[in-house]
Amino acid sequence: MDFRMQMIVVAVIGWWLVPVIPGHAAGEANLSRGKQVYEKYCLACHGPQGRGDGATQFDPPVADLTSSEVLMKPDSRLLRSIHDGRTNTVMDAWKTTLSDEAIRDVLAYILTFPR
């Protein structure tokens, strides 16, 4: 193979690999899927707008997802709370029910609630 041919091969393979590079391929969070997940699994406790006014009350109380107490926490902390749950509260670990992507989507949806 001559040099020009090699450059063409490199260019073609490079172009083909771009979407595979992590981060590049990881698309935006899917808000409509986040909404579906929220309505199915979270709304009953957290309420339609995340204010912790769902159908059932608990002790310790359901977090208000629009409060500064929650929103102060970095996304990585909130993702972990959803993934692993909160000890000694009714907030379950969702890691067996939801994929990492679904957890990311539902958090993105939560962050769209009016504050």
- Residue from 47, 62, 104, 105 touching ligand HEC (CB under 6 A): that is 62
Nearer to ligand HEC, 1 or 76 (CB): 76
Q: What is the C-alpha separation between 71 and 67, in angstroms, rounded? A: 6
Quick one: how far is CA 62 from the chain centroid?
Answer: 19
Query: Using only C-alpha atoms, what is the Rg of the chain?
Result: 20
Nearer to ligand HEC, 23 or 85 (CB): 85
Q: Using the rule CB under 6 A, is 58 a contact of ligand HEC?
A: yes
Amino acid at 99: S
Tokens of 11: 């260019």
User: Cβ neighbours of residue 89 under 8 Å, at least 6 residues apart?
Assistant: 58, 60
Residue 40 DSSP symbol: I
Q: Using the rule CB under 6 A, is 91 a contact of ligand HEC?
A: yes
Nearer to ligand HEC, 11 or 58 (CB): 58
Q: Using the rule CB under 6 A, is 45 a contact of ligand HEC?
A: yes
Residues that bind ligand HEC (CB under 6 A): 41-42, 44-46, 58, 60, 62-63, 65, 70, 73, 77-78, 81-82, 86, 89-91, 94, 106
